[in-house]
Structure 1
Amino acid sequence: MKKHNPSLVVDSSYPDLVINVGEVTLGEGNRKKLQKTQRDQEKEKVARAACALLNSGGGVIRMEMANSDEHPVEMGLDLEESLRTLTQSSDFQAFFETKQYGRCFYIFVKSWNTDFPPEDRFKPRICSLDSSLHRRFATKVLLMDSREAFNFLENKKRNAKFLGEEPSSKILRDANQNFHDSNPAHLFFQKDRLEHGEILPFPESQDVEFKQFSTEHVLVRIKEMVPKYIAAFANTKGGYLFIGVEDQSRKVLGCAEKNIKSEDLKKEIEEAINKLPHACFCQPKCQITFTVRFLNVLSKEELKRYVCVIRVVPFCGAVFSEAPRSWMVKDGEVCCLTTEEWVDMMTNTDPELQKLSEDFESQLSLSSRPPRSSPVYSKKSLEHKEDLQRLLFSVSSEDLQFTPESLLEELCSEHEGLEELIKKQMHPFSRGILILSRSWAVDLNLQEKQEVICDALLVTQNSPPILYTILREQDADGQLYCTRTAFTLKQKLVNMGGYTGKLCVMAKVLHLSPESNAESFEGSDSLIKYPKSYDLADTKQMEALLQSLVIVLLSFKSFLSDQLGCEILNLLTVQQYEIISKNLRKTPELFIHGLPGSGKTIVAMKIMEKIKNTMGCEINKILYVCENQPLRDLIGNKGICQAVTRKAFMKRNSNFENIQHIVIDEAQNFRTEDGDWYEKAKAITQRGKGSRGILWIFLDYFQTSHIYHSGLPDLQDQYPREELIRVVRNANKIAKYLQEIMHKVRENPPRNIPSESLNIFSEAEWSRDVPGNLKFLKYNNMENIVYKITKKCHSLLDDGYSCKDIAVICNTVDDVQEYKSKLESALRKRKRSRSREESNLLVIEDASAIMGNHIVLDSVRRFSGLERNIVFGIIPMTAQPAFSYSLMLCLASRARKQLYIFIPSEEMTNSASF
């Protein structure tokens, strides 16, 4: 973002984006009386505000009427036309509605979205006042509108990808050669001189332009003209701009050297072209290719003259005459997008999941999204947003629902008079749902306010959504809290949840007086009265809004985001969401038993975010403890906590004085060799005066990888306890294999595992209809394993997978060292590469580089808690028999999609081959 607009002020006192543009003359007659300059200035600031709101989730433009009319007036045709042009829609009310209250005039702006009819193929991702992209058409230079610009950029991006295997230098060289061969002006470009008055034997065309300027205006006109003409030639098929030739007659007149020196003109031209913003979709990034030449003009006069010719080669990307004029609200200011931001947003499309598309289904596509949304996917075997909405926020066609009922009962038992207050407020509403929370602010990743009893979101028919904040007593900051929370909710429903309808969220504060149990409320309905179209008209609209709410509440940044290089959101399961929704103050300690692949680490990350907002603490007061370094690094890099291993946690000189809250992950693999980690964690979280810190412990006894005491309390003392029984990570065949191993673990539990803890297996829920692959591979020696892994890796990479999809897991760290050099040597013999990106030598790294584009090779213990799409497992079934099945389970559960297990030939029970 750059250069905010000081004439546009974002008013933060409303639960919506409200931009105050100041005084504007309204009424058709009044506007016609204005001077053109003033009329254009007013039109510009209104259009900028509208553009910013369209691109930022919608909102309201507020203006003061500059004229003195005492009666309501219309906005003015020129203002309305500028807004129609902005959206390129014939239906003004599709995105805008207007209302006048006294001398205040409001324009209600719906968020821009690309949810157009299917036949409308080219839909710009964002709105712009001016694309600043020009093209040649016959002898004209035309400015592309937003849709033309979107189409143009899509084609450029597609062509760049198609030509991606060719070196960019070769592409430019071929384009240059074809450009020269086909252009009749090239012969004259190569000359040294022309005759004064000579008629050039070729006319203006798509790739030829003639210009003749009066002497005193050359530099001024050059600065005005060069950006548009050079950009237009570069964006079309290249061309020649002749300066010093009349356009109608084609007569050579030239420019006088005494009036402007050729070297000065060349400097101005080169500076103007080199300043042009441009976007390139190639690697490495390309530059605008042009040549400036001066041809002497021979004349009977003694004055020295010349013709300046600028040759422009077709550009592989897009060249702009200036930065695009597109606006967005960021950090409370109306800011202009940079060229790079504008191009990224215009060309942003759904990621190509390629092989992953068999596993994931789109819940929110960029093809029908508001500008700021991210794509949302769910596993095919899991509930869609529609299913989740019906499970969590069902809307009855007959009466008003209250959810969650358990929270309502709990709150009403704690606060006398609360039930009567809620019923009184809900009396006018008959259909819809009231969703209660101890803090909607925390649910939206904002800070909790201690004085709040609860928040409640009402989604009901014939009304906009209403957010109620119920306070214990009057509080000067109560309205600010409610307004801020309602504002954030509205923004997230659109920009995160992808809601495309007209939307506002009203904010209302209620007070519950503990002395009298009487209602006391502060009028907090917005001073802005929204049009009736902002009411939810029926069950269909309510459910659409609630499905967006599901995305807001249940989405989390997928690990696929790092793999694909763009933000992708996944959805929690109902089980995961219910655990995250727990009241932390009433559940300061919790043991979460989760089956392999049930999302324990995801829940751990989400709960740390909630701790920060509920407890009002900084991330340096939250500690994440796990057993292995790679998992520690992965979580530590998320910026939500401090992260250490158990060994580091138990060091005597470790400084945890600031720590108040602790989350422990993969606790089944902890040991007491360095001391009692559980007692230390309890002591830290309980040392605060007047308040107790959070201690949540995640574990899975099935994946225990040692035979020592874990340090966990006895099973009966692990209370309260929750279970995650929905396995969501693995493909069908892998999941079926996990069930077989877990059955064996249950039948033959290691002595350090409480056998009753394994009863969770009988409650397990398994994903279905997720394709994948499982193969058992016999081997005779290490060379045989290396050969088969290398061969399969080559095949996978050629099929479209990348190095970041693949992991090779061994039994011990010593095994890793043995295999590393042999695998690296074998992989480097690969003769061809899948893409230019992987033309360098393939690299093998340990699990600390899990997010990099490397094949990971590490031990099963160090890979605990991590995952990849494709896993090769090298663990003999005879290794450490006391927990060999648990070790195999830990390995197998790391594979999302394909699992290849190497077993000695003499133990092979299920043969398969590549």
Structure 2
Amino acid sequence: MELDNIQVIENDYADLVLDAGAANFGEHYRKTMKGRTKEECYNIIRSACALLNSGGGIITVKVLNEGYNYDIHGIGSDIENGLHNLQSCAAVKSSFNFIQQDGRMLIFVQSWSNGDGNNNEKLPRLCAIKSNAYQRADSSSYQMSPLEFENFITRKTKAAGRSDSIEKDSDLSIEPLHKKPKIEPIESTVFKSREFQFGDTLNFNESMYVEFKDFSGKNDARRIKEALPKYISAFANTNGGYLLIGVTNTRKVVGCGHCIEDPQYFEKLISTTVEKLNTVHICNTQKIINYSINVARVLNKSEQHGFLIILYVEPFCCVVFADKPDCWKIENDQIKRVEPREWTEIILATDPDIEKLCSSFQKELSVTAAPMGCKTVYSLKDAECLNELQRKLFPVEFHSSSEISIIPDNLHKELLKEYPNLENLLPKMKGVRGRGVLIFSRSWAVDIGRAKHQDVVCDALLLATENAPRLYTVGKRESDEVFKYSKDTAFSIKQKLVNPGGYTGKLCVIPKILWYSKGQSVEGSSTSTMELGNMQEAKRRLEVRYPKDYTFLNITALLIALTIVLLNFRSFLSDQLGCEFLNLLTLEQFQILHSKHDIEKCKKLFVHGLPGTGKTIIARQLIERIINTFQCKKAEVLYICENAPLARFMRQKTNCTCVTRKTFMSENFPKVKHVIVDEAQNFRLESGDWYEKAESIRTAEVTHPNGAGVFWIFMDYFQMSHFFSTGLPRIQDQDPREELTTGVRNGKEIHKIVHLNMEQILLSECDQEKRKFLTKLYKEANCGHSFPGKVEKSKMTPENIAKHIRVKIKQYLDTGYTTEQMAILCSTQEECKKYRDLLQCELKRLNVYAYLDEAESAFGDHTTENIVTLNSIRRFSGLEKPIVFGINPLPHPDQQVLTPNILVCLASRAMTQLHLLFEN
């Protein structure tokens, strides 16, 4: 049966909309309304700044002047100049579109990008109306632009990292930092004088180190108060200097503050001003702004004629702001001002220099050419690069004769089986000009980290040439909530494509809704626009048609951005290196999570992952999908592993309950609906049948009246480190089952050690079915990259092992590694305790400490920066470090058959450097 008159409910826009109030536009409307014009203009410019820094959006302004026509009158030089000051002239032309509609001016704002503009000009990391950071040049104080501030703060950063003074930079016309000015007349005479005569002429001029201000007229106290932050900031940020208030530019002493009787008024005013100034430190000190003041009386003959204020400001170690930067962003749907520290950090932001430390990565997205909110993205070096991942994930040829391709094919077919009449909705989804791809998902919201709506059948994202992107949402029944879901999801997709995806072109995602109910589409009604708190007064429907510019897409760049959106995760190394960056899932990992297995249908799955294939990464991503798909609370999702260190790690990285198997068996979890088990090969039955308990929890009718919960088990029999029963079903009973065979963690030399010992494990396996399965995995095992890594094998006495570790750690520290990137692993906890004392004696020479366990004292007041993890190989299961020292990695003499298992467990923990240290 074909459906007729299918109604597509078009929302027309899904974007961040700021209401900038009302304004008069055009040049000739400005002459009689200067006061109001300034406020109107600032509201528009502030909104533009916030949207530029937050992924773009739309500004709506009510037009006050009758008879205004944008095509005739333009927007006016004040607004035009304000936008010009936010960006370069070339960038303004390409970043803003203006459309007059229904008594309003709509200003479409493109996301800010600090890459090269149309004229190959360098742009700062973010845009701002004012920096409010000042500096001296010749005899003037000037406000630094964001680019000037970037040069300034970079120079300060270099100075903070060196004990010797910095030589004069060629691109800055200022003296070397921290060089105290030598102005003899001020220091020897003027600064010490307590009285001056009205009309005295000073015997020195204004310079980089001296500023004269008159302020002898009306409102002088107010003018002094307003000027102080600017000049204190300028002198402190340059090389210090003197501000003399009550002197004309011809050096005549005229006094100031004629209505003030007590000179302490000025001392208190300056003290209060200094205390309120914003300072940002980029060095290891927390110095304050130092200054000296002399408030001298000015006498006209013998009568009081005000004061001469002489303020000396010392050079400041880092940055002094006269006020917070006039820079704005959107946070939690509100316009917020960027704080000075955040401003400085963003301006200084560069890609983390991890290539030297971790040669296993290659850069895919750089923050130096991406929107403000982006993080650096790295993939595995010489593995499938971002372009290759994009082509495999979205195999679309836009130059082919085909029009709209549908992917993924398996999900599309599954949806048609469940909802047969979905086929009749496809013509509406594909009914556009141009070529492109229609990407189906049960919920695009879940794919980008948002909650699924239960009344939504599916979403389909259309990316096609000559069209703005569209998100089709198929709803089960007419609902304002579905309408809002579609709009919010479309907006979130757009924001994700910008940050973290890095797409820099003009972009919108238009939501369109199809109602699906018993084989017929249902006409829907529009609903109110998404409210943005106090920023948006209008609650009525805002009809918006995007400018034609928004249909000129770079589809390939858009698909690359979408690939980053879907595959990115925060690298585990971010905490160790002290800088946040993103890694990408491999195609194999992504397919298990997204393409092959839909957790709404595949509730139970056994995942066998060879060493270093990223099982824990998938487990973490899985937890997030479960929470968003089923809208779970923390207590409803349970992660179980064998060892406490891994449970602690996952507790920090996920929003679910994380426990060890022992805790799981000793406590009750009445609210749990979904269970994820990790490192299951090392589970035991000593406390009871954990598998049976997990199964009973996730299938309990009281918590799952409509079906069982998710139960995924991750394991690797090659890393099994005991002979006891695991409680897992037999291999032949583990169905459905998936395998991960592409190694992503370990360098090639380390992977060879792992693979060699896997072969030894097969020789000792007695279970025929299990051996057959493991042999298949062994043959399919491969290293997914080409970075070599290093392996060192040595035999020596325990004392020499400790000395050797100390020497190597020093070498690593000298080349830029941190102790956070290292682990020392022994066969057992008893071995750890034995070596702890030996290691402490050696490592204390480096001010480094071997930390055995969190329950142990953290060695007094020493910070974690000086601590190297010391643990047993078994307890470190599931974790990783770039550098691993393995001490005597041998099992108990009664368990020699487990030697290759122990070596696999140990070697697979090391990413780039593995040291195998055996006792003589």
Same fold (TM over 0.5): yes
1:24 aligns with 23
Measured after TM superposition, the shift of residue 18 of structure 1 is 1.1
Q: Is the 8 A contact 2:624 2:654 kept in 1?
A: no
3-state DSSP class of the match of 2:616? helix
Q: Match for 1:735 among 751, 763, 766?
A: 751
3-state DSSP class of the match of 2:130? coil
Whole-angstrom CA distance in 2 between matches of 1:70 and 1:193: 62
Whole-angstrom CA distance in 2 between matches of 1:46 and 1:78: 11
Whole-angstrom CA distance in 1 between matches of 2:258 and 2:324: 33
Whole-angstrom CA distance in 2 between matches of 1:255 and 1:616: 67
1:693 aligns with 709
Measured after TM superposition, the shift of residue 333 of structure 1 is 1.1
Measured after TM superposition, the shift of residue 771 of structure 1 is 3.2
Query: Is 1:784 aligned with 2:786?
Result: no
Amino acid at match of 2:636: K
Q: Is the 8 A contact 1:626 1:644 kept in 2?
A: yes
3-state DSSP class of the match of 2:356? helix
Q: Is the 8 A contact 1:593 1:699 kept in 2?
A: yes
Measured after TM superposition, the shift of residue 128 of structure 1 is 0.7
Query: Is 1:447 aligned with 2:463?
Result: no
Measured after TM superposition, the shift of residue 749 of structure 1 is 2.8
Alpha-carbon spacing, 1:105–1:117, altered in 2? closer, same or farther (3 Å)? closer
Whole-angstrom CA distance in 1 between matches of 2:184 and 2:446: 65
Q: What do residues 700-751 of structure 1 show as CA deviations (whole Å, max 9, x unaligned)?
A: 0000000111110011111111111110001121111111111111222377
3-state DSSP class of the match of 1:303? strand
Q: Match for 2:770 among 754, 757, 761?
A: 754
Aligned counterparts, 1:529-608, within 5 A = 529-537=545-553, 541-581=554-594, 582-608=597-623
Q: Is the 8 A contact 1:667 1:699 kept in 2?
A: yes
Q: Is the 8 A contact 1:509 1:523 kept in 2?
A: no
Q: What do residues 615-662 of structure 1 show as CA deviations (whole Å, max 9, x unaligned)?
A: 1111111111000000000001224111110011111xx120011111
2:350 aligns with 349
3-state DSSP class of the match of 1:294? strand
Q: Match for 2:237 among 225, 235, 240?
A: 235
Whole-angstrom CA distance in 1 between matches of 2:325 and 2:257: 36
3-state DSSP class of the match of 2:90? coil
Alpha-carbon spacing, 1:425–1:795, altered in 2? closer, same or farther (3 Å)? closer
Query: Is 1:510 aligned with 2:514?
Result: yes
Aligned counterparts, 1:215-226, within 5 A = 217-226=219-228
Q: Match for 2:414 among 410, 414, 426?
A: 410
1:664 aligns with 677
Q: Is the 8 A contact 1:632 1:644 kept in 2?
A: yes
Alpha-carbon spacing, 1:875–1:790, altered in 2? closer, same or farther (3 Å)? same
Unaligned runs of 5+ in 1: 1-11, 167-173, 831-839, 906-914
Q: Is the 8 A contact 1:824 1:844 kept in 2?
A: no
Q: Match for 1:438 among 434, 439, 442?
A: 442
Q: Match for 1:490 among 490, 494, 509?
A: 494
Whole-angstrom CA distance in 2 between matches of 1:483 and 1:589: 33
Measured after TM superposition, the shift of residue 190 of structure 1 is 4.8
Alpha-carbon spacing, 1:795–1:532, altered in 2? closer, same or farther (3 Å)? same
1:901 aligns with 916
Q: What do residues 288-322 of structure 1 show as CA deviations (whole Å, max 9, x unaligned)?
A: 12111234557741538653211111112121111
Measured after TM superposition, the shift of residue 813 of structure 1 is 0.4
1:47 aligns with 45
Whole-angstrom CA distance in 1 between matches of 2:663 and 2:350: 43
3-state DSSP class of the match of 2:161? helix
Whole-angstrom CA distance in 2 between matches of 1:60 and 1:504: 10
Whole-angstrom CA distance in 1 between matches of 2:669 and 2:345: 43
Aligned counterparts, 1:102-113, within 5 A = 102-113=102-113
2:55 aligns with 57
Alpha-carbon spacing, 1:881–1:546, altered in 2? closer, same or farther (3 Å)? same
Alpha-carbon spacing, 1:405–1:354, altered in 2? closer, same or farther (3 Å)? closer
Matched-pair identity in %: 38
2:203 aligns with 201
Whole-angstrom CA distance in 1 between matches of 2:261 and 2:914: 73
Q: What do residues 377-415 of structure 1 show as CA deviations (whole Å, max 9, x unaligned)?
A: 111032222111100112212222111101111111221
Q: What do residues 349-398 of structure 1 show as CA deviations (whole Å, max 9, x unaligned)?
A: 21221533522111111101111111111110322221111001122122
1:137 aligns with 137
2:824 aligns with 808
Alpha-carbon spacing, 1:841–1:891, altered in 2? closer, same or farther (3 Å)? closer
Whole-angstrom CA distance in 1 between matches of 2:587 and 2:820: 30
Measured after TM superposition, the shift of residue 234 of structure 1 is 1.1
Amino acid at match of 1:146: P
Q: Match for 2:663 among 648, 663, 671?
A: 648
Measured after TM superposition, the shift of residue 886 of structure 1 is 0.5
1:179 aligns with 180
3-state DSSP class of the match of 1:702? helix
Whole-angstrom CA distance in 2 between matches of 1:601 and 1:184: 71
3-state DSSP class of the match of 2:835? helix
Whole-angstrom CA distance in 2 between matches of 1:34 and 1:761: 82
Amino acid at match of 1:607: L
Whole-angstrom CA distance in 2 between matches of 1:900 and 1:520: 68
Please give the root-mean-square deviation of Cα atoms over the aligned residues, in Å: 2.6
3-state DSSP class of the match of 2:189? helix
Query: Is 1:75 aligned with 2:75?
Result: yes
Amino acid at match of 2:745: R
Amino acid at match of 1:785: I
**Higher mean C-alpha displacement, 809-818 vs 565-574:** 565-574
Alpha-carbon spacing, 1:467–1:75, altered in 2? closer, same or farther (3 Å)? same
Q: Is the 8 A contact 1:591 1:696 kept in 2?
A: yes
Whole-angstrom CA distance in 2 between matches of 1:68 and 1:258: 49
2:5 aligns with none
Measured after TM superposition, the shift of residue 132 of structure 1 is 0.5
3-state DSSP class of the match of 1:659? coil
Alpha-carbon spacing, 1:189–1:860, altered in 2? closer, same or farther (3 Å)? farther
Whole-angstrom CA distance in 2 between matches of 1:606 and 1:212: 65
Whole-angstrom CA distance in 2 between matches of 1:154 and 1:674: 59
Measured after TM superposition, the shift of residue 899 of structure 1 is 0.3
3-state DSSP class of the match of 2:579? coil
Whole-angstrom CA distance in 1 between matches of 2:760 and 2:247: 89
Alpha-carbon spacing, 1:511–1:704, altered in 2? closer, same or farther (3 Å)? same
Q: Is the 8 A contact 2:125 2:346 kept in 1?
A: yes
1:280 aligns with 281
Amino acid at match of 2:568: S
**Higher mean C-alpha displacement, 214-223 vs 122-131:** 214-223
TM-score, normalised by the number of residues in structure 2: 0.90
Q: Match for 1:681 among 694, 698, 703?
A: 694
Whole-angstrom CA distance in 2 between matches of 1:240 and 1:577: 63
Alpha-carbon spacing, 1:596–1:118, altered in 2? closer, same or farther (3 Å)? farther
Number of aligned residue pairs: give it: 869
Alpha-carbon spacing, 1:895–1:357, altered in 2? closer, same or farther (3 Å)? closer
**Higher mean C-alpha displacement, 889-898 vs 429-438:** 429-438
Unaligned runs of 5+ in 2: 1-10, 167-174, 528-540
Whole-angstrom CA distance in 1 between matches of 2:738 and 2:522: 38
Alpha-carbon spacing, 1:121–1:774, altered in 2? closer, same or farther (3 Å)? farther
**Higher mean C-alpha displacement, 186-195 vs 867-876:** 186-195
**Higher mean C-alpha displacement, 37-46 vs 846-855:** 846-855
1:393 aligns with 394
Aligned counterparts, 1:253-402, within 5 A = 253-254=254-255, 259-295=260-296, 300-303=301-304, 306-353=307-354, 355-396=356-397, 397-398=399-400, 399=402, 400-402=404-406
Measured after TM superposition, the shift of residue 223 of structure 1 is 0.6
Q: What do residues 177-224 of structure 1 show as CA deviations (whole Å, max 9, x unaligned)?
A: 840546653333552345424322211111101223327634212211
Alpha-carbon spacing, 1:877–1:350, altered in 2? closer, same or farther (3 Å)? same
**Higher mean C-alpha displacement, 610-619 vs 209-218:** 209-218
Whole-angstrom CA distance in 2 between matches of 1:341 and 1:13: 35
3-state DSSP class of the match of 2:62? strand
Q: What do residues 809-861 of structure 1 show as CA deviations (whole Å, max 9, x unaligned)?
A: 0000000001111101111124xxxxxxxxx5545343789994320111001
Measured after TM superposition, the shift of residue 470 of structure 1 is 1.0
